[in-house]
Amino acid sequence: VDLTTASKEQLQALQTELEQEYTGLKQAGLNLDLTRGKPSSDQLSLSNSLDGILQGDYTMDNIDLRNYGGLDGLPSAKTLFAPVIDVAIDEILIGGYSSLTLMHQCMIFCHFFGLNSSDGAWATEGKVKFLCPVPGYDRHFSICEQLGIEMIPVAIGDTGPDMDQVEALIKADPLIKGIWCVPRFSNPTGCVYSDKTVDRLAQLDNIAGNNFRIFYDNAYAVHTLSDDAPKLKSIMAACKKYGTEDSLLIFGSTSKITFAGAGVCYLGASKVNLAAITKHIGIVSIGPNKVDQARHVKFLQDSAGIKVLMDEHAKLLQPRFKAVTDGLENELADSGVCEWTKPEGGYFISFDTLPGLAKTVINMAAEAGVKLTPAGATFPYGRDPEDKNIRIAPSVPSVAEITKATEVFVNCVKLATINKLLAQ
Ligand SMILES: Cc1ncc(COP(=O)(O)O)c(C=O)c1O
């Protein structure tokens, strides 16, 4: 039913029906959780043979893996992961288990020290700013907030950030020092940046103030739900075309390929930036965990090996995403009061209610035993100006649980919407 054109009487009848259903759902004592953007235990088990895979042989690339050293990572691991983020083997550094840590460290290097010897620290320029495509990843925003970097939200659509808006803002303000990007299967909308968007991002350095950096978090580079998923153009290649490769820092990790808490992360950057970052990282650490890097080389082997594993992940994830999108499609497709994304990869579905209803829906779902990510989490400072975005993360619960949780969610969306429409 299109709720926007329904009569008052129709809405009142529906309200009574939905209230009864909601009371029933509350009494069912559900305990379901759609908040966690992490791999399920079944997904983690796909990589269990990482354990013991070295069989006591702690040498790779003529390096004793057990010792300190090798700040930029094992050569064999560079060969393995460079194609994942589309950079050359001498444009990648392999680190510890968390790309978020690497992003945080790079922000600190840029902000307090200057990334390269030729760069000034951002902090010396006054109140610097960052562009944040929204809805986006809360942990990116937390880094800016911690460092006192002002966040400017920009809209994100099916092809990536609104590049007209991005270019206009950057041209007008040299204190904008960077932009957060999740270019493939963006968290939470699932969009994939178009070739045109990548090309325009690559040219930003030519209109930006000093020491501008794109924090390009390619966390879901190979995380497709099907083989038809849209591809991502190489941004490093585009930057080279425009002579802007020093403005680019690419991040990624195996957190959602192997083990989220015991994988490896990587950083793609120009040779100039890599040399500078390696120097900075040398202050933080004496070298990464090369044992885990070698385990990953043995286990994944090459791009084909990664693809085989990612296909197994997709088999577990695809039905879970389908359980959400089918539930929404069946019940809300013609309602005219909400929209949601249908991602072809990644970990999230992004749902928009009518303005002003996200908090209400999330609270109602919680009362009925379905936990959703807190309202506002996908916006800088936790403030969704329209209070309408809800992030749904279906990777962990079973298909049956997701189906039930979606049923509750749909009930809450409809009821909250009708309550609002009737109150107007
Ligand atoms: C966009 C994005 N980047 C980074 C991460 C975390 O990466 P890591 O586990 O490598 O620290 C996540 C986890 O949800 C994410 O969604």
Cβ of 37 less than 6 Å from ligand 1: yes
For ligand 1, the distance from its centroid to the CA atom of residue 206, given in whole angstroms, is 29
For ligand 1, the distance from its centroid to the CA atom of residue 17, given in whole angstroms, is 41
- Model-level pTM greater than 0.75? yes
Ligand 1, closest atom to CA 346? 16
Cβ of 154 less than 6 Å from ligand 1: no
Residue 132 φ then ψ, to 5°: -125, 100
CB 384 within 8 A of CB 413: no
The radius of gyration computed from the CA coordinates of the chain, to the nearest angstrom, equals: 23
Cβ of 185 less than 6 Å from ligand 1: no
- Classify each residue of 199-224 as buried b or exposed e, where b means 16 or more C-beta atoms within 10 Å of its C-beta: bbbbbbbeebbebbbbbbbbbbbbbb
CB 254 within 8 A of CB 296: yes
For a substitution probing ligand 1, which of 189, 255, 347, 395 has the most ligand atoms within 8 Å of its CB? 255
Q: What is the mean pLDDT of each run of 10 residues along the chain (424 residues)?
A: 94 98 96 94 98 98 98 98 98 97 98 92 97 98 98 98 98 98 98 98 98 98 96 98 98 98 98 97 96 98 98 98 98 96 98 98 98 96 98 97 98 98 94
* Structure token digits, residue 271: 């040779």
* Per-residue pLDDT, 117: 82
Cβ of 217 less than 6 Å from ligand 1: yes
For ligand 1, the distance from its centroid to the CA atom of residue 68, given in whole angstroms, is 26
For ligand 1, the distance from its centroid to the CA atom of residue 182, given in whole angstroms, is 10
Closest CA to 220 of 262, 189, 196: 189
Nearest CA to ligand 1 atom 2: 219
* Per-residue pLDDT, 422: 97
Cβ of 142 less than 6 Å from ligand 1: no
Ligand 1, closest atom to CA 137? 1
Closest CA to 344 of 186, 235, 197, 182: 186
For ligand 1, the distance from its centroid to the CA atom of residue 337, given in whole angstroms, is 31
Cβ of 219 less than 6 Å from ligand 1: yes
For ligand 1, the distance from its centroid to the CA atom of residue 85, given in whole angstroms, is 15
**Close Cβ partners of 279 (under 8 Å, ≥ 6 residues apart):** none
* Per-residue pLDDT, 81: 98
Closest CA to 303 of 244, 221, 218: 221
For ligand 1, the distance from its centroid to the CA atom of residue 189, given in whole angstroms, is 15
Nearest CA to ligand 1 atom 16: 187
* Per-residue pLDDT, 286: 97
Which secondary structure element, helix H or strand E, spans residue 69, and what is its range? Answer: none
* Per-residue pLDDT, 150: 98
* Per-residue pLDDT, 254: 98
Nearest CA to ligand 1 atom 13: 37
Ligand 1, closest atom to CA 37? 14
